[in-house]
Structure 1
Amino acid sequence: MKMHLQRNSDANLITAYAPGSITINEHAHHSSLVVAPGWLVSPWAPARFEDLQAADFTVILEHRPEVLLLGTGRRLRFPPAATLAAFRERQIGVEVMDTAAACRTYNILMGEDREVIAALLLIETD
């Protein structure tokens, strides 16, 4: 039996990532962004991990995803618990990882039709 991958052509797929760039549906973005299967925020206000504030997550909370993937750049860094407290209060899962891992995980979860949102800080250029 021949099988074909069926993909929602309207869904946002991360097609590449590299230092200084994240590509969504073959369109390169050069700033931090928030991506969900049906919508995109680019640029996203925090440019660096140190810039993250609770208010930056308002747009994500409004969509009430099942899970938020937070890509923190080249390396895994955990924001203060208070920054993500609103997710815990709403029983929304948060997975913190480096941005490359968050990009890969987003595509997998989106392919499983999960309600996923990825908030991605750019991988710093050297």
Structure 2
Amino acid sequence: MKFQLDEPQGGNSISKHDGRSVWVNGEAYGSSLLVPWRGEVQAWALSRFDELSGSHFEQILSLKPELVIFGSGARIRFAKPALYQSLIQARIGVETMDLAAACRTYNVLASEGRNVLAALLIEV
């Protein structure tokens, strides 16, 4: 039986999360962030769910993902579709889940070589 380490082809991998931080490629992030399949992790200026605005989702457009996994914090909360209308118009899919599920799902999709982006809300 052949054993092979699965690593995302794009390079970014979420290795750990604890609700207060997310580790991407071994580096801890203690505030909300955008994790693209390829490229640099970006800060996402958001500290509470009720602060969400359309501009938060506009930031994602420049990264041109095929799919966005929105980790809405410790529990699942759905943003109003009007907030991510720009993503819908660009035919970019948006899936919402809690932070833990978003991290797991991102890793699976990234390991398949999908152009996915994790938008992770870490509430402080």
Q: Which structure carries more relative contact order (alpha carbon 8 Å, separation 6+)?
A: 2
Contact 2:66 2:116 in 1 (8 A): yes
For residue 40 of structure 1, what is the amino acid of its counterpart? V
Match of 2:84, as an amino acid?
L
Counterpart residue number, 1:20: 20
Q: Identity over the aligned pairs, expressed in percent?
A: 41
Contact 1:14–1:103 under 8 Å retained in 2:
yes
- 1:108–1:81 Cα change, 3 Å: same
Structure 2 gap ranges (5+):
none
1:72 deviates by: 0.4
After TM superposition, the score normalised by the length of structure 1 is 0.89
TM-score of the pair, normalised by structure 2? 0.90
Q: Does 1:40 align with 2:46?
A: no
Instruction: Report what 1:61 is aligned to.
Output: 61
1:6-57 alpha-carbon deviations (Å, 9 max, x no partner): 5368711100000211111111111010001222103x10111111111112
Counterpart for residue 29 of structure 1: 29
**Number of positions where the alignment pairs a residue of Structure 1 with one of Structure 2:** 123
Give unpaired runs (5+ residues) of structure 1.
none
CA RMSD in angstroms comes to 1.7
